Structure 1
Amino acid sequence: MAKLKSKYVCQECGYETPKWMGKCPACNEWNTLVEEIYEKNSKVNISKEYSETKIKKLIDVKIEEEERVSTGVDELNRVLGGGVVKGSLILVGGDPGIGKSTLLIQTANNLANKKLKVLYISGEESDKQIKIRSDRLEIKSNELYILSETNMEIIRNVVEDLKPDILVVDSIQTVYTPEITSAPGSVSQVREITSKLMKLAKTREMATFIVGHVTKQGSIAGPRVLEHMVDTVLYFEGERHHTYRVLRAVKNRFGSTNEIGIFEMRDVGLVEVKNPSEMLLSGRPEKSSGSIVVPSIEGTRPMLIEIQALVSQTVFGMPRRVATGLDYNRVILMMAVLEKKAGLQMQNYDAFINIIGGIQIKEPALDLGIVCSVASSFRDVEMDSKTVVMGEVGLTGEVRTISFIEKRIKEAAKLGFKRAVIPRANLKGLKNYSDIEVIGIDNVLDALDLVIGG
């Protein structure tokens, strides 16, 4: 007879202890230890089975390119590295209501239209609720099957009977296995369910998408081992009150983690944004201080973003510094460079810096845009609306070289910009452009002279 035992498991990091503690000693989080009941077998039978281990030289191993299936969504294909790899396990995380389920059911419909058998399993919605949402999204594929179930054993039996090519599980925190007595969503349940889904995906060569809830800190709920077990981890980002969404890969065994996909939420579901530069610059004011455009690179995609800054005199003793969409610490560094090298005394001024569109960009090439926008707003001087700036700024005020300079300049020229201010070191080997003037600078003072007149 198996003995019932209890243990306390941290819901943030998976740390286990036989007694309850207010603070987890592993991750230092408070009130995260939850009691879980498990069975401990008094006798364990260990079978001594040995298999011949085949050792090979690395140079002798032959590989073939993974067979990929297009999802029918170019932005998703871009993030995945060209499409879905057979047998891969893909984890999709994001805030509640951001559009994870909408993206996956639209993707499932596109794959089903390619004569692939797709099984969509929901542990949060009934069949009728899924039908209502699919009618709104105009989903009418004949090869898309749905199942409202949370028991993993039933799900496994259905998969073995139906033999789908693609499996979608929404969400991993609602599915449980009767083998473990803890509640659905606990560390033990999530770890076991993910392991079972991984075995199903690999043995049947069935690409599997699983939805993961996120914590208030923005990371996927459950043990960290969940992200280590899967092949790809995608985060769906964006503000619920903004229409634009960004799909970003933070782990991808079959492609790059630098690519992003941009979507717009509409009444008919998520729509791909083919030209994000034009979208992000729509509605930009022609004559306004504190607004500058910076060509950014996400993966292989050039993208023009607008940085806006508002510097106003503070009414408190301590000035505020607010950064939205940018690295806060990077903004503080750039303001310190302005105070030291350009003589802008901002100790009595609040500063608010924002990237338009609700997206987050953290590459160093934005430094020069931050410097110019803050200085423009501080001096209340308008900048040329047809000028773009780019460059990494060092703590001594120098403007350092950046990568993919030609892609950035071409994207700016394509959208009608007439002047590009770049690091002087990037001029070496750069070809001449007839439709845009390229100017090289050495430090922030040169940039301010060009952009806002000193």
Structure 2
Amino acid sequence: MAKQKISSYVCNDCGADFNKWQGQCAECGAWNTLTELRIGSSKNSSVMRNAGFSGAANGSISVLSEIMLDEVPRIITGSVEFDLVLGGGLVPGSCILVGGEPGAGKSTLLLQHLCSLAQNHKSLYVTGEESPQQVAMRASRLELPSDKLQIMAETSVEAICAAAIQYQPKILVVDSIQVMHLDDVASAPGSVSQVRESAAMLIRYAKETNTVLLLVGHVTKDGVIAGPKVLEHMIDCSMMLESSNDSHFRTLRCNKNRFGAINELGVFAMTDKGLREVPNPSAIFLQRGDEVASGSLVMVIWEGTRPLLVELQALVDPSHLGNPRRVTVGLDHNRLAMLLAVLHRHGGLMVGDQDVFVNVVGGVKALETSADLALILAVISSFRDRPLPRDLVVFGEVGLSGEIRPVPNGQERLREAVKHGFKRAVVPAGNAPKKAIRGMEVIAVRKLTDAIEALD
């Protein structure tokens, strides 16, 4: 008698599960997006069982205090920036998802590190979008050591797991998860059900064999990982390789990490020999002209575990439209509108009839509130057409009542500014150092009016 298969119906848009088919998804409201997903297939499980991996839970109960806390040894990749984003290196048995726009350098980044790691660790590179010849041509162009790296062109997850069980690599790269498929899933590759079930089987193999699994993920037009949201819950670490069309620099940002800090930032430069790490990111974002124009200001933001100096530019120009424009690049658009209202109410400066454009140089995204004070002072500088001193650095959060609030790691921000030759700083009073910093004049402010007077 044939083994009965249990079916579930999954929405291709949101990933919601239903016991029976229906025309409209009750979760997201989309029509005709439910596809059948068969669960409990014997074929998928046989590949794992033949190698001795049952996938069943241990079933034993332990006291939390009795669990051994032996530190898992990490695999060092050799790249300081990549290891920083990972939290100190690759953890055996972990699953890492690397996403990014087309052409950002995801495959190049992983191929570089895998060729280096293959010299000491068994590694397997699975390519589903390129042929082995194309990957070999890239490795040759980048002059990478490719004599020990194993490569496989395959899109079937069952075949990948069977080959990995036979070869037993310590590091496995799958490029990319959106083109992988399972034979028992009826939907097309890239659909919600295919991505979820393919990733689940690969993660299961990695956990049971203590293999480092790196998955390449595509992004949608909104800049998020394509596929179900549950994919980001299943993996241990999620990273995004960001780039801009007018810059050869790439930023690797960690959004989730079960083995390290989140929001870490690694900076790389795209060259003819591949991605090269930038040991001092602040230096590349501070390449200013000999004469600083009005509206230009340097601020200190905090990325993960280190400070980063970036240039903020603002342009205020009379508007000829009924609704003046507010444009931001690298900053929150809603926060700009809020700070302009605070500037009008507590700073006495009306820019309601002006177009305001704000840009963070270098393609960096300032996601924290420490950029508030720098943004307001840059707008004032552009509106009055008064350039600010080149050796001035600013950071601080601005409240709705006009108060300047302290931000975390104020002392580390000031020390980073001193290293790059800055001699003046406007900071919140709560971040003022108790001891004077040699070579720097620190101006502590409590209100927005104090900060404006300090520049006059």
Q: Same fold (TM over 0.5)?
A: yes
- 1:123 matched to which residue of 2? 128
Kindly report the root-mean-square deviation, in angstroms, between the aligned alpha carbons of the 2 structures.
2.2
Shift in CA distance, 88/3, structure 1 to aligned 2, threshold 3 Å? closer
CA distance in 2, matches of 1:141, 1:41: 39
- 1:10 matched to which residue of 2? 12
Output aligned runs, 1:327-338, within 5 Å. Answer: 327-338=332-343
- 2:45 matched to which residue of 1? none
Counterpart of 1:133, as a letter, is R
CA distance in 1, matches of 2:159, 2:5: 26
* DSSP 3-state at the match of 1:357: coil
Q: Provide structure 1 residue ranges, at least 5 long, that are not aligned to the other structure.
A: 43-49
* DSSP 3-state at the match of 1:92: strand
Q: Does 1:133 align with 2:138?
A: yes
CA distance in 2, matches of 1:41, 1:390: 56
- 1:69 matched to which residue of 2? 75
Q: Deviations over 1:229-249 (max 9, x none)?
A: 111111112223321211111
- 2:152 matched to which residue of 1? 147
Counterpart of 1:262, as a letter, is V
Shift in CA distance, 157/397, structure 1 to aligned 2, threshold 3 Å? same
- 1:86 matched to which residue of 2? 92
Shift in CA distance, 40/202, structure 1 to aligned 2, threshold 3 Å? closer
* Greater mean alpha carbon deviation, residues 236-245 or residues 89-98: 236-245
- 1:223 matched to which residue of 2? 228
Q: 2:330 aligned to 320, 325, 346, which one?
A: 325
- 2:440 matched to which residue of 1? 436
Output aligned runs, 1:239-388, within 5 Å. Answer: 239-284=244-289, 286-388=291-393
Quick check: 1:15–1:26 contact (8 Å CA) kept in 2?
no
Shift in CA distance, 39/335, structure 1 to aligned 2, threshold 3 Å? closer
- The Cα shift of 1:25 comes to 4.1
Q: Does 1:446 align with 2:450?
A: yes
Quick check: 1:93–1:235 contact (8 Å CA) kept in 2?
yes
- The Cα shift of 1:281 comes to 0.6
- The Cα shift of 1:148 comes to 1.0
CA distance in 1, matches of 2:57, 2:414: 58
Q: Does 1:27 align with 2:33?
A: no
- 1:102 matched to which residue of 2? 108
- The Cα shift of 1:14 comes to 3.8
Q: Deviations over 1:75-112 (max 9, x none)?
A: 11001110000111111111111111111111111211
Shift in CA distance, 53/18, structure 1 to aligned 2, threshold 3 Å? closer
CA distance in 2, matches of 1:314, 1:67: 59
CA distance in 2, matches of 1:227, 1:40: 21
Counterpart of 1:281, as a letter, is L
CA distance in 2, matches of 1:51, 1:289: 64
Q: Deviations over 1:261-307 (max 9, x none)?
A: 11111121111111111100113453310010011111111110111
Quick check: 1:290–1:308 contact (8 Å CA) kept in 2?
yes
Q: Provide structure 2 residue ranges, at least 5 long, that are not aligned to the other structure.
A: 42-55
- The Cα shift of 1:63 comes to 1.1
CA distance in 1, matches of 2:16, 2:269: 36
Counterpart of 1:140, as a letter, is P
- 2:52 matched to which residue of 1? none
- The Cα shift of 1:124 comes to 0.3
- The Cα shift of 1:324 comes to 0.6
- The Cα shift of 1:396 comes to 1.1
* DSSP 3-state at the match of 1:433: coil
Q: 2:60 aligned to 54, 77, 82, which one?
A: 54
CA distance in 1, matches of 2:9, 2:262: 37
* Percent of aligned pairs with the same amino acid: 44
- 1:421 matched to which residue of 2? 426
* DSSP 3-state at the match of 1:353: strand
Counterpart of 2:155, as a letter, is T
Q: Does 1:171 align with 2:171?
A: no
CA distance in 1, matches of 2:411, 2:439: 13
Quick check: 1:119–1:166 contact (8 Å CA) kept in 2?
yes
Q: Does 1:156 align with 2:161?
A: yes
- 1:36 matched to which residue of 2? 35
* DSSP 3-state at the match of 1:208: strand
- 2:217 matched to which residue of 1? 212
CA distance in 2, matches of 1:122, 1:41: 27
Shift in CA distance, 411/64, structure 1 to aligned 2, threshold 3 Å? same
* DSSP 3-state at the match of 2:188: coil
* Greater mean alpha carbon deviation, residues 8-17 or residues 392-401: 8-17
Counterpart of 1:206, as a letter, is T
CA distance in 2, matches of 1:287, 1:39: 64
Counterpart of 2:314, as a letter, is A
CA distance in 2, matches of 1:148, 1:281: 43
Aligned length: 439
Counterpart of 2:284, as a letter, is M
Quick check: 1:388–1:419 contact (8 Å CA) kept in 2?
yes
Quick check: 1:8–1:19 contact (8 Å CA) kept in 2?
no
- The Cα shift of 1:51 comes to 8.7
- The Cα shift of 1:6 comes to 9.0
Shift in CA distance, 41/273, structure 1 to aligned 2, threshold 3 Å? closer
* Greater mean alpha carbon deviation, residues 334-343 or residues 10-19: 10-19
CA distance in 2, matches of 1:52, 1:159: 23
CA distance in 1, matches of 2:144, 2:324: 52
CA distance in 1, matches of 2:10, 2:203: 26
- 1:46 matched to which residue of 2? none
CA distance in 2, matches of 1:430, 1:26: 55
Counterpart of 1:265, as a letter, is M
* DSSP 3-state at the match of 1:281: coil
* Greater mean alpha carbon deviation, residues 1-10 or residues 399-408: 1-10
Q: TM-score, normalised by structure 2?
A: 0.91
Shift in CA distance, 418/4, structure 1 to aligned 2, threshold 3 Å? closer
CA distance in 1, matches of 2:6, 2:305: 54
Q: Deviations over 1:297-329 (max 9, x none)?
A: 111111101110001011110000011101111
Shift in CA distance, 52/407, structure 1 to aligned 2, threshold 3 Å? closer
- The Cα shift of 1:118 comes to 1.0
